[in-house]
Structure 1
């Protein structure tokens, strides 16, 4: 219990210490980065300590941790001073605009980007209390879950605990490898550095820190998802409020305040859907487990003691839903007696192995398809779990960039970037940190940042081929800086990745895709339908369908080109592979593989629909469409968030689509 409270107080203190910095760095967000301040503080504190310890400036002990914390405090004090100075300068500037009613300014969205931090805190007490309550509730809830099952055994847990203990005991950085004496850890270990830092700061053992870090990541992800959705909803609500204020006279300010408070309250409640869908809503396999255990959908030819209600069947009496679904264990008869609670040994594990891959010879291969709730329940402190709150931080940074929070200019190596220096630098720290936490994350989140930047430029300048130049003009220097900021890590890092390989024979069945993502696909398609119903002009379906089909064709052609190139370079390996698939020639293999892909068309059609809808809505956006009010063109509250949401849907669809044609080979692959 004392360890829990020490971690709660330590992380809360770091968040409070960092908030003035977050307040200045995220001016376009409705919560001004409050929900992200803990994650941002941990990232910056961890980076400062790791970098200086790697350079030999700070020791790996408590004094080094405190010195790094003092540096973070200095940065935050500087941000508070700059924000106060900007506010004083803004107050001294003469303005022709009438001052809004005091009742109107109580709504946080009507405060300027340079509003006093104290004023913002007073105006957003409800948001602050809700965020703090959610953090404490989520932290305590998952700490209790881990307390009921605290064993650190099985899966990768012993390896992860070994990394934490090795970092705690290493006098210098890079930390010593716990297995290979005389060598440094060759792994993306930034998350374990943060865990060890909190353990050393609070004086808890590495084994205790392991479980507390799992609970902390759960809580940080909860408030990160909550804050991100709140920022999206609040931007929409403040647009409505600003329109009411613009069209009515000053005498109706009371009505404006009342409307804004109601809208804000609704956003506070609705934003709870963020952590619900991210952390608790799983795939549909758990629901299928319940139906299976109850004997539902089994043909009447199966156990005679099934009651009529349990003998629901689809189609004819010879159709077996569970055999057709083909998820391992669920295709077998349910254990007797029937019930509503699954009792098969490790039945919950099957939810992380939904996808069933068969090669052309009919040989089954197991595919790992974990999701957040499973990862937290399993209790692996793996890099993809450690990176989760910081991935949400990157999404918030992209939203802030899209809304114009980092408007400015930066010249770099002859390139003119329309982003201020602080925004460019902090984005590089976040992206570089994600690469250090879970290396391949940097690709997806860099693409998101670049896409948000292009959408912001599109809003301000309209479409031209210069937007493609903007895409790479930001991405290249940002990637280089993210690499240089974490250069000591790459010096001692040796990747296990074996390159990109084509996926020629393992398409995903539509049924399995919907079991895996159905709980998310339904609300996404509903949201796209809502966008379509709310459009005054039809979406550009020709562009949407054409680009989606073209992208899929390119991926298909690219995968087969890679396969053809491999056959030329490694003819003996290619011949052995063809023989294992029961194909005598490359031509018969090509025909069989593509026939299989056509027979599994349901998954591809689902992803094509998502891509086509997202692209169709995005293509038609332009400067007039994105700016909802020319009078408030540069105000975040006057900008529709719809293009950013579409960008998220587009990138998510691409992340699911890409492995249908190519995959990353590692020591677990084939």
Structure 2
């Protein structure tokens, strides 16, 4: 526990430092926000500094190293010093006025970081679901001299997926000098902390912009409500089925696997949300992108609420949208849609139902999207789309199931819609923006009922990924709006009786959806009874001690990214753990994942067939030719290889190389 506390402090200081040097620039961007943008200082600091390193490395100007990370931070520091020098008086005056909120924001971040770090300590293992993939990306990036990173499961090729968020994790890992097996879990806690501070900043600032002379505590309460509900709440599935069938029988994943599963049909779908993501703790693209999504929402409001928009406003907003593409391409599309809806509503409110409104909205949206695409060019030069087009769906959701999943956003929308109807001529900019978020959420919920993006998942799962990636952001936007809607709705109502009635209704609804974490955390983390520590590798040393010992040897003795050979495995298994945990590329790894990334099963299957020949053929010359084809330098023979290949012929490897590591039944051959 003591060592874990030191890791948490080290990690917090690292991120605090990155955020601190970026406070002046953040203030310059968000000076009208209630916290002067402090809640985004860490996200922006990491984003700007990592992007500098990204550009320098992907164009092979400088290697991805600790030195170049410090260089990027130095450049950022210099720019922030310039900002202070040109705005010194107002900068310090604004910070002094908001010091209480700023301190609260730092406490909120620290609270989230510490809370989830400790929770992860009860089940910290980096195994199960897609953790091998995420951890492999990070470790490959840590070993990469230049970008793009090598695919650890497809030697000779770069990762053909959205890896920028994993790059950010590797960036912070290098900067903090903490082992990746620890930073994996610390990054999860960091995202939760950033989610809390970002949501608080957005919601409170939206309410503050109304200028209704509300009590400061009421303004802050809007931020607290949004932060808590966005991070910790679930949907109506939990209260409905926990009360109907008994809480002792309720299983938390059911809230994310409902349509197609209860009742059982051939239309299997996914509808996850942040709390589930944090509990199961896959450091996946949609979760790593979470802070960037909230930053984009804040920037979009800032841009659209200005009476006179500058080119710089569009450039900054478009830049973040582009980074979102590299982190999770789905969100580029999602928030391009949000941008179009928001700009249109703002234009209609300002100019009325005229052609110029649509033209103005189109120009604004296209400008932001275009800048986003320009930002992604270095990434796109090394990326092939894994989507295979768009088609109409073969199934539809039942209305009652949609009501269970999206009843809370529906309630918010109805209440807010009625309030807006009552004050329509006097709508504020914040009202329009929240309305845009709710309308966008509705679109993202409806779209998977009409169309889906084609990929390798077909048949009964054909629209699962589309529903997952679209409705996740519908959840984010609608739950983010909750605090604002509560305060705004209560401010519109004049009678105390109705205020109390609506306030009581909100309290009951909030309590019902906040029931979810008690089920999820207790189930996944064993009722928080046995603290295991922050290391995500403990399970590995316990389950496969020989293989883990080999992994440690590789880390200490092999530099760079020479190709290793291990048995290829099916996705979601514990095969290919060495390539994942070392970042060394193997010839072929998780099959379905490579099928998705390479566009066809034929490509990984060809490699799997030749790997089989390498391990089972008695012809040394033929084996050597195949090893040369993939430039293999090390061959692993252990329990997974013997299980995968019962006819494994090991003797030939003594002719082709020599044993450089041996422990029990596990051996590592270095080829001649």
TM-score by length of 2: 0.65
**CA distance, structure 1, for counterparts of residue 113 and residue 413 of structure 2:** 29
**CA distance, structure 2, for counterparts of residue 182 and residue 129 of structure 1:** 48
- Answer whether contact 2:351 2:357 (CA < 8 A) is retained: no
1:615-666 Cα offsets, whole Å, 9 max, x none, are: xx6xxx6xxx45xxxxxxxxxxxx4421111111111101111111111111
- Answer whether contact 1:401 1:452 (CA < 8 A) is retained: no
Is 1:355 equivalent to 2:259 in the alignment? yes
Q: Which runs of 4+ in 1 moved over 4 A?
A: 454-463
Is 1:287 equivalent to 2:189 in the alignment? no
- Answer whether contact 1:284 1:515 (CA < 8 A) is retained: yes
- Answer whether contact 1:358 1:506 (CA < 8 A) is retained: no
**CA distance, structure 2, for counterparts of residue 512 and residue 141 of structure 1:** 33
- Answer whether contact 1:395 1:448 (CA < 8 A) is retained: no
Counterparts in 2 of 1:291-302, with a 5 A limit?
291-294=243-246
Counterparts in 2 of 1:443-592, with a 5 A limit?
443-458=333-348, 460-503=350-393, 505-532=394-421, 534-535=422-423
Q: 1 or 2 for the larger relative contact order (CA 8 Å, sep ≥6)? A: 2
Is 1:65 equivalent to 2:69 in the alignment? yes
Partner of residue 225, structure 2: 273
Partner of residue 395, structure 1: 297
1:570-611 Cα offsets, whole Å, 9 max, x none, are: xxxxxxxxxxxxxxxxxxxxxxxxxxxxxxxxxxxxxxxxxx
**CA distance, structure 2, for counterparts of residue 27 and residue 423 of structure 1:** 14
**CA distance, structure 2, for counterparts of residue 150 and residue 651 of structure 1:** 36
Structure 1 residue 289, shift from structure 2 partner:
4.1
**CA distance, structure 2, for counterparts of residue 462 and residue 529 of structure 1:** 21
Structure 1 residue 483, shift from structure 2 partner:
1.6
- How many aligned residue pairs are there? 455
**CA distance, structure 1, for counterparts of residue 352 and residue 237 of structure 2:** 45
Structure 1 residue 443, shift from structure 2 partner:
2.0
- Answer whether contact 1:167 1:193 (CA < 8 A) is retained: yes
Is 1:54 equivalent to 2:54 in the alignment? no
Partner of residue 484, structure 2: none
Select 1:371's aligned residue among 257, 273, 278: 273
For structure 1, which segment, 473-482 or 63-72, has the greater mean C-alpha deviation from structure 2 after superposition?
473-482
- Answer whether contact 1:282 1:519 (CA < 8 A) is retained: no
What is the alpha-carbon root mean square deviation over aligned residues? 2.2
Consecutive unaligned residues of structure 1, counting only runs of 5 or more, are 88-115, 242-259, 295-339, 409-418, 536-616, 627-638
Partner of residue 40, structure 1: 44
- Answer whether contact 1:354 1:515 (CA < 8 A) is retained: no
Structure 1 residue 456, shift from structure 2 partner:
4.5
**CA distance, structure 1, for counterparts of residue 281 and residue 346 of structure 2:** 40
Structure 1 residue 197, shift from structure 2 partner:
0.7
Structure 1 residue 464, shift from structure 2 partner:
2.5
Specify the SS of the correspondent of 1:525. helix
1:322-342 Cα offsets, whole Å, 9 max, x none, are: xxxxxxxxxxxxxxxxxx433
Select 1:653's aligned residue among 442, 451, 462: 442
1:80-132 Cα offsets, whole Å, 9 max, x none, are: 33434xx6xxxxxxxxxxxxxxxxxxxxxxxxxxxx11111111122112211
For structure 1, which segment, 117-126 or 166-175, has the greater mean C-alpha deviation from structure 2 after superposition?
117-126
1:403-427 Cα offsets, whole Å, 9 max, x none, are: 20xx54xxxxxxxxxx313212211
Select 1:424's aligned residue among 314, 336, 351: 314
Partner of residue 209, structure 2: 235
Specify the SS of the correspondent of 2:19. helix
- Answer whether contact 1:139 1:216 (CA < 8 A) is retained: yes
Specify the SS of the correspondent of 1:364. coil
**Structure 2 vs 1, CA of residues 382 and 56 (structure 1 numbering), >3 Å: closer, same or farther?**
same
Structure 1 residue 74, shift from structure 2 partner:
2.3
- Answer whether contact 2:148 2:158 (CA < 8 A) is retained: yes
Partner of residue 341, structure 1: 248
Structure 1 residue 472, shift from structure 2 partner:
2.0
**CA distance, structure 1, for counterparts of residue 267 and residue 344 of structure 2:** 41
**CA distance, structure 1, for counterparts of residue 237 and residue 28 of structure 2:** 44
**CA distance, structure 2, for counterparts of residue 233 and residue 76 of structure 1:** 29
For structure 1, which segment, 437-446 or 150-159, has the greater mean C-alpha deviation from structure 2 after superposition?
437-446
- Answer whether contact 1:358 1:365 (CA < 8 A) is retained: no
Specify the SS of the correspondent of 1:501. strand
Specify the SS of the correspondent of 1:164. helix
Structure 1 residue 455, shift from structure 2 partner:
4.5
Partner of residue 564, structure 2: none
Structure 1 residue 183, shift from structure 2 partner:
1.4
Structure 1 residue 290, shift from structure 2 partner:
2.5
Structure 1 residue 358, shift from structure 2 partner:
10
**CA distance, structure 2, for counterparts of residue 451 and residue 81 of structure 1:** 39
**CA distance, structure 1, for counterparts of residue 411 and residue 371 of structure 2:** 39
Partner of residue 215, structure 1: 189
Specify the SS of the correspondent of 1:366. coil
**CA distance, structure 2, for counterparts of residue 433 and residue 398 of structure 1:** 15
Select 1:10's aligned residue among 2, 8, 14: 14
1:161-220 Cα offsets, whole Å, 9 max, x none, are: 000000000111111111122211111101000000111111111221111111111111
**Structure 2 vs 1, CA of residues 366 and 438 (structure 1 numbering), >3 Å: closer, same or farther?**
same
Consecutive unaligned residues of structure 2, counting only runs of 5 or more, are 460-672
- Answer whether contact 1:278 1:372 (CA < 8 A) is retained: yes
